[in-house]
Amino acid sequence: MRERKENYHLLSRIDKSWTLFLDRDGVINERIVGDYVRNISQFKFIPGTIEALKILRKIFGRIIIVTNQRGIARGLMTEEDLISIHDYMLNELRQNDVTIDGVYYCPHDITDNCSCRKPKPGMAFKARIDFPDIDFAKSIVVGDSESDVQFAINIAAIPVLISSGGKQSLGGLMVFDNLAEYAGFIRKLIP
């Protein structure tokens, strides 16, 4: 883990009133470089992710997945394909005693000028409509891209970057190699 310590005092206060927003590709499942996860056979959990989610589920009150899926807008897959992938993912997690409260996705392309494509905050606002107890000031966003970091900033949440090397830490961000490392870090902080 590479991080700065500004957010430690906040992180030690995490309890069931907090929400964890997670990006999908590159955080929960393996990203396909230069392509999209288009079907269930291409969806592979990153090693250690299911165990990490078990830990995080015990700490956070809500876990929400927010994911840009422009492969739909590009005609590379259908919304039905995406829903099948998410059903598979959620079923696998349920079988491992992990419940995800909601999955929100943006099917639009960058040029569509929608309000839901990260870094815009539309998916977070949809989640808060469904779960009015979500407080963005008591939320953490874990993602693997600058758009995830900016999404966190746009909703006044704490950003956490997953980067397995190659990227430099952006000023003030906590950076972890994977979700398992982040979960271990958080578990040690919570009394």
The catalytic residues are: 23, 25
The CA distance from 158 to 5, in Å, is 12
The CA distance from 158 to 14, in Å, is 12
Q: Tokens standing for 77? A: 């897959």
The CA distance from 80 to 83, in Å, is 5
The CA distance from 73 to 86, in Å, is 17
Are residues 187 and 174 in contact, defined by beta-carbon separation less than 8 angstroms?
A: no
